Every structure is written in C-alpha cells, then in structure tokens.
Structure 1
Amino acid sequence: MLIAVLATALVVLLGGLVWLVLKARADYVPRDQATLCPLSGYTSQTLVLIDTTDAFAPVTQTQVLNKLRDVVTAIPKDGLLELQLLGADAARTRPAMPPLCNPGDGGDIDPITGNPELAKRRWQMQYAEKVEEALRSGVAGSTQDYSPIMEAIQQIAAEHLTSQHDRSIPSRLVVVSDMIQHTAGYSHYVDGLSSEAFAAKARNRLATDLAGAEVEFWMVRRPTQKVDAEQLGNFWLEWASNSNAKRPVTLSPLMGM
C-alpha cells in the first residue's frame, strides 16, 4: 500500500514538473535584441509622424505629449512603434528612435514559471524610457520653408503598409501637424484645397495606399493660419478615404502654436 502511494506521488510530482517546463517554454518568446520584436513578427503596428517644420507652442507640446503617451499605452504586447519626424525635405524625414516593440511589462507572466520583475525592468529600461525620451525630443521643431506631409505619409506607407505581413495586422497611423502641405510640387497655400487642384498637380505623383490602416490626423491650428481650417480638415478626410484608409478617418483639432 505504501509503495503504491509513493508511486502515485512520484507520478504526480513528475507530471507537475513536466507541466512547469512545458508552460515555461510556451510562455517564452524569442525576441530580436535590437527591436524587442518577436522573431515570429510583430502583431500590430503604430506609426506616428510628427511635423517638425514649425515649432509647437509649449501648451501644444504638453497636449501632444499627453495624447502620444495615451497612444503608446494602448500599444499591445508585441506591437511595433515607429516614430518619424518630418523635416522640410521628405528625404530627411528621420526616425526619432529605432523601431521598438512593446515586450510587455511582465504583468502577464506567471511568477512560478517566469520572472515578472525581470520582465518589468527590461520593459522600463529598454522600451518605456527610450520611448518617453523620443517623444519629448520629437515635439520640438523649428520654422522651415517646406512641409512635405504627403511625401512623408507616402514613404511610411511604402515601408510599413506594403508587405503581406504588414497588411494582415492592425495598423494605426497618427499624424501630428498643422496639416498644411507646402512644397514646390503642390501647396495648399498656392494651389488651394480643392480635390480638383490636387488631382491636376499631384495625385499621380503622391498616390498612396494606406491599406486599410486606421488613420488619425491631429491638426494643430496656428493663430495666423492662412487657410480655412474646416476646408483643410475636409481635404485630408477625403484624401485619406480615397487613399484606402480605414473608415471613419479621425481628425482632432489641437491647441494652436
């Protein structure tokens, strides 16, 4: 009888150990050390474009920072964040930081089979702190001659909304700008806000496929803005819808510069 009880206990113990090992293996996600993304691929992407061709007023910086923190907080585990800064030359649009995936803060890790504290430290040092630093530096800008917003969005779409993988996952594009396109090829100041003017001058050159991405325009209004804000907003809503964005496209006015 004793032998049978001991044998049963041993079987239960071995079974528990096997379960712990299998669960630990199932919870382990191999990641790229530079991006923190799963080697199997990120599961969503959040793409942020901040227009730095004009400086934001301090109150605008505060508002944008708080809203962007909300965006970052909403990124799920294994989701990619790409933060781009728009300059006067679209070719110089640059990342505010290397692309990073949210590795998770350890809140979903079982302390029996994993180390949630270690995961939280990694999340804080390798992800959260780097993102916060990039956001703070990203809202600074300076007055420049041109604002190639469409070219920058076109480039982001080409890089992040083209591959089969990227088109199969949820994608969110946030554009923070006064939304006034101004280049030699097409300018809201010079050519106006009509869809006809855009079609005649730049539609073919700036054709963009947003591939069903969720699109948000955060429109910063300038005190001395020389274009009608309502017409400008309607122009971008129509442009995004015609560029295959997920509907409805969101346009949110922000405090002025």
Structure 2
Amino acid sequence: MRRKKLGRSSRTSGSTIALIVLLFVGTVTLGGGIGYFYFQAQNVTKLDAQTLCPLSGPTGQLAILVDKTDPVTIRQLSFAQTKIEDLVEAAAAGTRISLGVISPDEAVVQQEYLSICKPPSANEANGLIQNIAAVDQAYKDGFKAPLDSMLRSLMVVSEAPSSPIMEDLQTFLSRIPDTASVGENKILVIFSNLAQHSGELSFYEGGNWTSFSSAGGDQRLARSLSGFEVKLMQIPILEGFQPELEDFWARYFDAQGASKIRYERVGDL
C-alpha cells in the first residue's frame, strides 16, 4: 500500500504554526525584558537634589559632634578622624550624616555644620539602567567632597575658655531633620574630653549630676536622643574627674533617651 505524500497545504500549515509559536515566544520574552527593566527602574531610590536623601526619608542617622575647646594633639586628631571616616564608610546609603562643633563662639557653631545623606556609590549602582560614571561623580562631588572639607575644618588643634557641651549638643540636634522619624540605625558620636564648663554646669567648679538636677537642669532636658546609640571618643582628662564625668554623662544620656553608651579613649601615647 502506498503512503500518501504530504501536500503543500500541510507543509504551509506547519510553518505557519511554527512562526506563530516563535512570535509568541519572542513577544513574551520581549515583554518580560521590558517588565524587568521597568521594575528595576521603579526600584531605583529617588533622591532629593539638595540633601541627597531618599524622597521617602533617610534610613538612618549618623551625627558627629567635635569639641574644638579642648587641648588635643595631632596624633589624637588623626586617630579620631580615621575612626569617623570609618563610621561614614560603614554607614548604609540613605543614612543622614551630620557634622557639628562645640564652641563658645556662636558664629562658629552656626558656620561649621553640615547635614547631607550618603547616596549610593558606583559599586551600588545598577549598570543596566544607571550611568555608573555619573553615579560615581555625584557621590564624589555631592557627598564626599563637602563632607571631607567640613571634617578637615573641624579636626584642628584649638582651645577655648569654656566648653558648652550640653548646650551645643542640643543646638546641633535641633538642626538635624528627621531625627524623630528615623526609628533605627541612629548613632551620635562626640569627640571631646567631656568636661562640661559653662554657666549651666562646670566640672572644674565641682559640678556634678546632683548639683545639676538640684538646680532643675534635668527638668529642662529635651529628651532628644530617643533610640540613639552614643559613642564617646574621649580625650583623656585628669583621673580625678573621670568618675564624676562618667556618672554625669551616664545619667544625662539616659535621661535624654539614648539606648546605649560606649566609651573609647583617644590617647596620644
């Protein structure tokens, strides 16, 4: 019995089906690719042009206060600056980085202040939808350059006749936006010998927590450090002062709402 040969119409029908399948697969693949790129583009964090913070708000706070009233050596400054730079490097993109100063000169306090968010670096950019070179340039020019410049202006050898640590800390915190809205990843760093010396309280004149609270000072605290971890980079001071200093600042930061306090001694030998 002879087999029937496939006719031209059968071959044409098979080719048509194959073409339809191919077009369908291509359309699905193209649609999936477009969808993938759209999804990636939508998930790139949009930043405020001035502050470099995510439009949804910063994801953390790193506040650094430098005391320019204390006698300090170049070695101590170098050590502290390296520690601060490491903290900035370790901070996640989206963290607000703020720098401020302790000084009896109000003009210096107002001038030496910076608060911007850390944007994504080139290593964190998505090369499929972002210009890596542009991201890198924005990171260097918009974030690293002004931060490095301000840090250099703060880390200098200087002294002053008084040291209003509490007052300038509150001024500093009041200028930083979003401290209350950010619930986690909040760190305050203070580089100082921690010897408060002002009209409000002076350790050099025998002041301590008892005298401070007896004068009603504890009732005036702003409770502005809720959820903050406090890192105290302390320049060594007379050993006789240290117990009173530690007792005072433990009570002070607890009353201000800090979650944790850590000391690090910054010696020069």
Q: Same fold (TM over 0.5)?
A: yes
- 1:143-158 equivalent positions in 2, closer than 5 A: 143-158=159-174
1:250 is displaced (CA, Å) by 0.6
For normalisation by structure 1, the TM-score amounts to 0.87
Per-residue deviation, 1:41: 0.9
2:129 aligns to what? Answer: 113
- Displacement of 1:50: 0.3
Q: CA deviation at 1:213?
A: 0.9
Please say if residues 56 and 139 of structure 1, whose CA atoms lie closer than 8 Å, have aligned partners that are also in contact: no
User: Is the Cα contact below 8 Å between 1:89 and 1:146 reproduced in 2?
Assistant: no
In the aligned structure 2, how far is the partner of 1:116 from the partner of 1:48?
30
SS at the partner of 1:94?
helix
Does structure 1 conserve the Cα–Cα contact (< 8 Å) formed by 2:61 and 2:179? no
How far did residue 56 of structure 1 move?
Answer: 2.3
Deviation, structure 1 residue 111: 1.4
Work out which of the residue numbers 10, 13, 26 in structure 1 matches 2:43. 26
CA drift of 1:142 comes to 2.2
CA 1:240–1:90: 2 relative to 1, 3 Å: farther
Residue from 173, 187, 198 that aligns with 2:188: 173
Q: 2:29 corresponds to which residue?
A: 12
Report which stretch shifted further, 108-117 or 48-57.
108-117
Q: Deviations over 1:73-118 (max 9, x none)?
A: 1211010001001111467523535311110103233312222332
Instruction: Output the amino acid matched with 2:143.
Output: Y
For 2:228, which of 189, 213, 217 is the aligned residue? Answer: 213
For residue 97 of structure 2, what is the aligned residue in structure 1? 81
Residues of 2 paired with 1:160 and 1:171: CA distance?
A: 12
Matching of residues 90-101 of structure 1 within 5 Å: 92-94=108-110, 96-101=112-117
Offset of 1:240 from its aligned partner? 1.3
Q: What value does the CA root-mean-square deviation take over the aligned residues?
A: 2.4
TM-superposed deviation, 1:226? 7.9
Contact residue 35 and residue 98 of structure 1 kept, 8 A: no
Q: Cα gap change, 1:143/1:226 in structure 2, threshold over 3 Å: closer, same or farther?
A: farther
Tell me the TM-score normalised to structure 2 length. Answer: 0.83
- Match in the other structure for 1:102: 118
Deviations 1:39-98 (A, max 9, x none): 221111111110111342111111111111111112110100010011114675235353
In structure 1, what is the Cα distance between the partners aligned to 2:179 and 2:187? Answer: 15
After superposition, the C-alpha distances for 1:213-240 in whole angstroms (9 at most, x for unaligned) are 1111111025xx4852243223212321
After superposition, the C-alpha distances for 1:143-163 in whole angstroms (9 at most, x for unaligned) are 211110011222334444886
* Residues 97 and 196 of structure 1: CA distance in aligned 2, closer, same or farther (over 3 Å): closer
User: Which of the numbers 234, 245, 251 marks the counterpart of 2:258?
Assistant: 245
- 2:246 & 2:106 partners in 1: Cα distance? 22
Contact 2:104 2:162 in 1 (8 A): yes
Q: CA deviation at 1:254?
A: 0.9
Give the paired residue count: 251
The gaps in structure 2 that reach 5 residues or longer are: 1-17
Matches within 5 A, 1:129-144: 129-144=145-160
Distance in 2 separating the partners of 1:56 and 1:202: 33
